Amino acid sequence: MIRAIFSLISCIIFVVSLHAQTTVIPETQGFSRERLKRIDDYMSRVIGEEDISGSVVLIARKGKMVYHQAYGQRDREANDVMQSDDIFRLASMTKPITSVAVMMLYEQGKIRLDDPLSMYLPAFQNLSVLELPSALKGVESAESPITIRNLLTHTSGLVYHWDGRLGEAYNAEGIPMGLVDVDMQLEEGVELLTNLPLAFNPGTRWNYGMNTDVLSLLVEQVSGLRFDRFLKENIFDPLGMEDTYFFLPDNLLDRLAVVYDRRDGQPIERVPEGVLQYGQNIYSVDYPYGEYRSYFSGGAGLSSTAYDYFKFLQMLLNGGIYEGKRLLSPTTVAMMTRNQIGKLEYPDAGYKFGLGFRVHTNPSESGDVWPVGVYDWGGFFNTRFWVDPENEIIGIIMNQLYPKGDLKLHQTFRNLTYQAIIE
């Protein structure tokens, strides 16, 4: 009898803890429950074919979750079943959070978007740029300074380690990409960028790069707070993001999903701990719990759950507010989520870039199912989200897979989400 009572109490505690994560009947939000089950069928297939180990997906509409499911295994070797509150390495899904932090300072009047970065980070004065766009040959003085807007829009001239001209130099210089446990402070790692030339003059091209790590140092300098503390006090705590960290506490490590890789159409294999290199990308899977805990990468460092990230996205979809806590004004969110690069070329047809997000601008060019105005982004380990303001939809898919080969998991998940809309 005592054991039965204890079990009942445990179940009640479990239900109460998940109350905030309760989903609603899909039809109340214009989704077909039967059609959403096609997601289950698809996820079962890719797990059965050993394309992934497991995944968590979340779909919300008008502020209500209609789907929040876990599939497969968090750790195949330990036979641990994936849970909906498991934790994933966000990698570049950290970038939108950092961008919001920057815009909070903008709203406080502490920065302006067209301020030269060197006003706040003097090491970025007098930068050089490659003379030729196609080769690492010769440098000249940059024609204009990097601005905060350049960093938010990835038009600064900074690149990543896979860049064909500067990537090897980035690695040789020891510039951290945010995905390796490193024994250095944020300022030390970011300022290594100033030892190398820019790939192009600021504002003249779009190129994905180390911009958001620089922004995290900017937040530190302007706010006077260490970057992780700024995020906790100004974003995570107000939104109730209780499972979002740069470096996970020990009591959360058993919820961190294992990373697998998938190459040449072969079944997935567990990625070992330690520093690895694939092409020009240097990364490790143990950086969320490594020995060194001092480099707070605004471009790649966070780990979180689908539910925590939903809260962040719902705040944006609500125009900057979530459950009575306002982080940004609606005008600022609108500015962040529209085209901010003008006529500059973006690599994905039908898309442009805002202040921290890819923005859908032309469905006839993209061929994608969602409407104009959708903004989205993803992460190195195959996480992805989108926000659809027109239909008031949020979609999140989390798994841990790198390299992913030709698996188009998030595209299929997106299509299966939209086919389930019935009104």
pLDDT of residue 265: 76
Of 151-155, 241-245, 274-278, the range with the lowest mean pLDDT is 274-278
The answer to whether residue 148 scores a pLDDT higher than 90 is: yes
What is the number of alpha carbons within 13 Å of residue 12 lying toward its C-beta?
Answer: 6
pLDDT of residue 314: 98
pLDDT of residue 105: 98
The answer to whether residue 62 scores a pLDDT higher than 60 is: yes
Q: Which residue has the tokens 């600064």?
A: 156
pTM of structure:
0.94
pLDDT category of residue 389 using cuts at 50, 70 and 90: very high
Q: What are the Cα distances from residue 344, in Å, to 77, 153, 366?
A: 47, 11, 16
User: Using CA atoms, how far apart are residues 191 and 208, in angstroms rounded to an integer?
Assistant: 18
Q: What are the Cα distances from residue 186, in Å, to 48, 89, 151, 160, 197?
A: 41, 19, 16, 17, 20
The answer to whether residue 11 scores a pLDDT higher than 60 is: no
H helix count then E strand count, the chain: 13, 18
Residues 6+ apart with CB under 8 A from 102: 111, 148, 152, 215, 218, 219
What would the DSSP string read from start to end of 28-60? GGTB-HHHHHHHHHHHHHHHHTTS-SEEEEEEE
For residues 137 and 229, which has the higher predicted lDDT (pLDDT)? 229
For residues 6 and 168, which has the higher predicted lDDT (pLDDT)? 168
pLDDT of residue 131: 78
Query: Which of 17, 78, 40 lies closest to 242, judged by CA?
Result: 17
Report the mean per-residue pLDDT for the chain.
93
pLDDT of residue 27: 98
Asked if residue 387 lies in contact with residue 394, where contact means CB atoms within 8 angstroms, the answer is: yes
User: Using CA atoms, how far apart are residues 413 and 399, in angstroms rounded to an integer?
Assistant: 12
Of 10-24, 89-103, 123-137, 289-303, the range with the lowest mean pLDDT is 10-24
Q: What is the CA radius of gyration of the chain?
A: 21
pLDDT of residue 353: 98
For residues 18 and 78, which has the higher predicted lDDT (pLDDT)? 78
pLDDT category of residue 132 using cuts at 50, 70 and 90: low
Asked if residue 129 lies in contact with residue 157, where contact means CB atoms within 8 angstroms, the answer is: yes
The β-bridge relationship of strands 276-278 and 269-270 is: unpaired
Tens of pLDDT along 329-343? 999 999 999 999 999
pLDDT above 70 covers what percent of the chain? 94
pLDDT category of residue 63 using cuts at 50, 70 and 90: very high
What is the number of alpha carbons within 13 Å of residue 11 lying toward its C-beta?
Answer: 6
Domain boundaries, the chain: 23-88+230-252+300-418
CA 106 to chain centre: 21
Average pLDDT score over residue span 222-247: 98
Tens of pLDDT along 21-53? 799 999 999 999 999 999 999 999 999 999 999
pLDDT of residue 247: 97
294: exposed, middle or buried (C-beta count within 10 Å: 0-12, 13-18, 19+)?
middle
DSSP code, position 407: -
pLDDT above 90 covers what percent of the chain? 89
Average pLDDT score over residue span 307-334: 98
Choose the CATH number for 23-88+230-252+300-418 among 1.10.150.20, 3.40.710.10, 3.10.20.30, 3.30.70.100.
3.40.710.10
pLDDT of residue 96: 98
For residues 245 and 262, which has the higher predicted lDDT (pLDDT)? 245
Q: Is the N-terminal amide bond of 122 cis, ω within 30° of 0?
A: no
38: exposed, middle or buried (C-beta count within 10 Å: 0-12, 13-18, 19+)?
middle
